[in-house]
Amino acid sequence: MFGGGGQVGCDPGTGDLMEEHPVFDPAEIGEFVSLCLEKRNLFLDVCERHGSPLYLLDEMGLKSRAQEFLDCFQREFQGFGCPLGRVHYAVKSNNHPEVLRILCEKGMGLDVSSGEELDMALRGGAASIVFSGPGKTEAELDLAMKHADRVILLVDSFGELERLGRRKGQAKEILRVAVRLTVNEEGLWRKFGIGLDQLDTFIKSANEISCVCFQGLQFHTSWNLDPGAQTEFIARLGQSLSGLDSQVKRQIEFIDIGGGIWPACGEWLQRGKNPLIHSKRPSEPLGVFAREIRGAIEQHVLPHVNCEIWLEPGRWLCHEGMHILLTVVDKKAEDIAITDGGTNAIGWERFETDYFPVINLSRPALTEHPCHVLGSLCTPHDVWGYGYFGEDILPGDVLLIPMQGAYTYSMRQRFIKPLPAVVVLQDDGTIRYLPCSL
């Protein structure tokens, strides 16, 4: 829900983290905690039956988010000259097979960034797959060509295009391709795609390769708290489209604007010094993204090409779809509690920078108390939070770390302690237990 901003972290008692961002209204945090506590009995029952630590996958919540996303953009693009085409879920944001199954059942395709993810998407039955990412290996290109009926390859470079041409004997049928465009020709983002000034040359080069059919363009801007970066690049793209030959323009069947849309709740961050004061970076609602993206396309793209608009949401869909349950195993001091689950379950030191409320389900209260809530890994960076909501915190208490659906499960790692199993809260109200698969 709140997700990492990539900042360098520090202990709230010793540093000055994120103090430039607005203070998060405690009343809003309390309202969120109150909503989480409405499912307290369900969470406690799951923990009693299956132990902890656990990932909880909320099937109904995930389906609801998917429908909300589709409805919002379909309303905005209905009757528009560039209609909404395919929506592909970004597998890297949460790659649990049940997440992929649920979203495919909602009519979405899958956006993959490696051969491993491509194999998952194929085995999961996805009808439409876009394969992005730099540095694709020969084996990955072969796999895409073998499944050309379901895969659209987002070519990342001229070198990758040349390697495709040399592998034409691997193609059972013509492979549909698009080209990724870099959104920033300076710095690390140059890793992705080609520059706009190379677009015309690229399309003409693709047309010379017999085993591929060029069909579209893709770009991706990340960490979008508002649609500004997306609309600005669409304006730049329009300038490039205006200079293309009319025959080349007719080949563009879709423009994939990627994902990177931040959930409307904004980004919640540790603030520093006082562990009970937090920061919030606001984010625009989904409807604002849909409306402004549509407006930019109408102004800058529609005068030059008629095509579908594709999307690749990830974080926005899955951030509310998974939670983590932990149990307190030791209380070493009034301000230090140790849990049975380590942050290897999320794969990185997220909570030194990001803020998620730690909610004591066993002793519920809407008051947050300072306390280092730590995992059981042999590292001091194993931090779940610097406070908890509850009357107290004692060994045996069950804790909820909410909204861990995005960029946590897919980044988990085997480090010291075993990984949690997954419990699926199915939309019919039943519970399904799935052992750890890593």
| CATH code of the domain containing 39 | 2.40.37.10
pLDDT at residue 5 in the model: 38
CB 383 within 8 A of CB 347: no
18 vs 367, higher pLDDT: 367
Is residue 323 scored above 60 in pLDDT?
A: yes
Last residue in a domain, options 283, 318, 353: 318
Give CB contacts under 8 A, 24+ apart, made by 250-253: 250/305, 251/203, 251/207, 251/214, 251/215, 252/215, 252/216, 252/217, 252/305, 252/307, 253/215, 253/216, 253/307, 253/308
E-state strands within 240-381 = 254-256, 267-270, 278-281, 308-311, 322-333, 336-339, 359-360, 368-374
For residues 66 and 212, state if they share a domain. Answer: yes
What pLDDT shows up at residue 20? 76
Shared-domain flag, residues 256 and 356? no
Q: Is 239 within the bounds of a domain? A: yes
Sign of CA dihedral 164, 169, 173, 174: positive
Could you read off the pLDDT of 220-274 as tens digits, one per residue? 999 999 999 999 999 999 999 999 999 999 999 999 999 999 999 999 999 988 9
Domain boundary (292, 318, 344) is at 318
Nearest-Å Rg of the Cα atoms of the chain is 23
Residue 283: inside a domain: yes
Kindly state whether residues 407 and 425 are assigned to the same domain.
yes
Query: Is there a single domain that holds both residue 295 and residue 337?
Result: no
Which domain CATH number covers 288? 3.20.20.10
Q: Average of pLDDT values for 103-107?
A: 96
Question: Which pLDDT does position 272 carry in this prediction?
Answer: 82
SS3 215: strand
Residue 165, C-beta contacts closer than 8 angstroms, at least 6 positions apart = 208, 209, 211, 212
Q: What is the mean pLDDT of residues 90-119?
A: 97
Last residue of a domain, one of 299, 318, 337: 318
Confidence of residue 436 (pLDDT cuts 50, 70, 90): confident
| Domain total of the chain | 2
pLDDT at 167: 81
Distance CA 270, CA 356 (A): 9
Question: Do 346 and 202 lie in a common domain?
Answer: no
- Which pLDDT band, with edges at 50, 70 and 90, does 27 fall under? very high
Same domain, 65 and 89: yes
Give the residue among 284, 289, 317, 341 at the shortest CA–CA distance from 406: 317
DSSP string for 227-239? THHHHHHHHHHHH
pLDDT, residue 383, reads 97
Whole-number pLDDT of residue 10: 39
Is 205:177 a contact under the CB 8 Å cutoff? no
Q: Which residues sit opposite 23 in a β-bridge?
A: 279
Tell me if 398 sits within 8 A of 43, measured CB to CB. yes
Structural domain includes residue 323: yes
- Same domain for 226 and 289, yes or no, is yes
Asked whether residue 13 is assigned to any structural domain, the reply reads no
Residue 19 confidence (pLDDT) = 59
- One domain for residues 168 and 220: yes
The most distant pair of C-alpha atoms in the chain lies apart, rounded to whole Å, by: 72
Q: What is the pLDDT of residue 438?
A: 60
Average pLDDT, the chain: 93
Q: CA-CA distance, 436 to 301, in Å (whole number)?
A: 46
Tokens (6 digits) for 193: 């795609």
Which of 390, 89, 397 shows the shortest CA–CA distance to 261? 89
pLDDT category, 373, cuts 50, 70, 90? very high
Its pTM stands at 0.94
**Whether residue 68 is found in the same domain as residue 52:** no
Rounded to the nearest 5 degrees, what angle is found at the Cα of 185, between the Cα atoms of 254 and 188? 105
Query: Is 393 a residue whose pLDDT tops 90?
Result: yes
Answer whether residue 393 is part of any domain.
yes
Q: Are residues 184 and 39 both part of a single domain?
A: no
Residue 159 lies inside a defined structural domain of this protein: yes
Round to whole Å and give the CA distance between 259 and 348. Answer: 22
Asked if 182 and 91 sit in the same domain, the reply is yes
Structure tokens at 210: 């017999």
**Straight-line distance from the first to the last Cα atom of the chain, in angstroms, rounded to the nearest whole number:** 24
| 21: in domain | no
* Structural domain contains residue 228: yes
Q: What confidence category does residue 9 fall into, taking pLDDT thresholds of 50, 70 and 90?
A: very low
pLDDT at residue 273, rounded to an integer: 80
Range of the domain at 247: 60-318
Judged against a pLDDT cut of 50, whether residue 1 lies above it is answered with no
Q: What is the pLDDT of residue 338?
A: 98
- Domain identity same for 344 and 381: yes
pLDDT in tens, 141-195: 999 999 999 999 999 999 999 999 988 666 668 999 999 999 998 889 899 999 9
Region of poorest pLDDT, from 163-167, 339-343, 384-388? 163-167
State how far the Cα of 286 lies from the Cα of 291, in Å rounded to an integer: 9
